[in-house]
């Protein structure tokens, strides 16, 4: 098999790269052995400082990009000026109004999410009771607002984001700005808040431990469901798509 040596891996963290110690070690080894051969981006719901802490602790290899707050904030670790991050943030529409989203969103079965490290500027977060009728009512209440994406995950959270930001939008932005062909991009995730990445035409890796909310929608021919969990599943998927060689499991 011909190995594609220059590619972009855009991966969620929790459940995709973390959660299986042997897989974490294997992924760190893979990243070190392939240094300079691929571009790594973490696309996560975590805060940036939380990701940096994992890197400093040695659990995760250093990436080129961190896209935090459910894919709404982009940081280029190789550019102190973060010019790509500023260009990405500028895609949010001027009518983005957190106060109005919270005012309309809170209702029966839905409460406001409290963020431990402060309210993200482009993410409105809610807790909900996992009832389908609750989600339908929530969407009706916000239907008067334009330019929004509403996504539920873990039967616990609802995130509301600007339509031009989010995990999938971030990967498309990086692909275009960095000049990768679409076949040179692969995404990985494990839950419903990764769905945007799997709604693109990029190759997608779903590890064995992924939630059914993602497994049920990641059903395109270019999606691979690995029999291995977390990082081992990601490495298995990279091998399946021709981005890696050897045994990682």
pLDDT along the chain (249 residues), means of 10: 69 96 95 91 95 97 96 96 96 91 97 91 96 97 94 92 96 96 97 94 97 94 97 96 76
- Is the entire prediction scored with pTM above 0.75? yes
The reported pLDDT for the residue numbered 2 is: 41
Domain housing 151? 98-162
pLDDT of residue 37: 87
pLDDT, tens only, 30-68:
999 988 889 999 999 999 999 999 999 999 999 999 999
The answer to whether the beta carbons of residues 58 and 80 sit under 8 Å apart is no
CATH number of the domain that residue 120 is part of: 3.90.1070.10
* CATH classification of the domain holding 179: 3.40.50.1000
Cβ atoms of 130 and 109 closer than 8 Å: no
Bin 179: left if φ > 0, else alpha if -120 < ψ < 50, else beta: left
Phi, psi dihedral angles at 214 (to 5 degrees): -95, -45
Token pair belonging to 59: 């659990």
Residues 205-224 pLDDT 10s: 999 999 999 999 999 999 99
Q: Are residues 142 and 177 in the same domain?
A: no
Same domain? 231 vs 173: yes
- Give the number of domains in the chain: 2
């Amino acid at each position: 098999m011909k190995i594609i040596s220059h590619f972009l891996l855009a991966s969620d963290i929790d459940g995709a790269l973390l959660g299986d110690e042997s897989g974490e070690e294997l992924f760190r080894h893979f990243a070190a052995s392939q240094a300079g051969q691929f571009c790594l981006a973490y696309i996560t719901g975590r805060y940036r400082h939380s990701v940096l802490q994992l890197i400093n602790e040695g659990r995760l290899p250093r990436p080129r990009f961190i896209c935090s707050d459910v894919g709404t904030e982009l940081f280029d670790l190789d550019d102190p000026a973060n010019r790509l991050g500023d260009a990405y943030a500028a895609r949010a529409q001027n009518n983005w109004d957190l106060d109005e989203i919270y005012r309309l969103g809170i209702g029966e079965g839905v409460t406001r999410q409290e963020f431990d490290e402060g309210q993200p500027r482009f993410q409105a977060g809610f807790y909900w009771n996992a009832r389908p009728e609750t989600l339908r009512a929530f969407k009706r209440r916000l239907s008067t607002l334009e330019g929004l994406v509403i996504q539920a995950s873990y039967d616990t959270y609802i995130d509301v984001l600007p339509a031009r930001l989010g995990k999938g939008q971030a990967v498309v932005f990086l692909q275009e700005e960095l000049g990768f062909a679409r076949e040179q991009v692969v995404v990985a995730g494990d839950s419903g808040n990764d769905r945007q990445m799997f709604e693109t035409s990029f190759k997608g890796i779903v590890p064995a431990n992924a939630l059914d909310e993602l497994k049920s929608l990641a059903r395109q021919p270019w999606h691979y469901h690995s029999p291995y969990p977390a990082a081992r599943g990601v490495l298995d998927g990279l091998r399946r798509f021709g981005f890696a060689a050897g045994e990682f499991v």
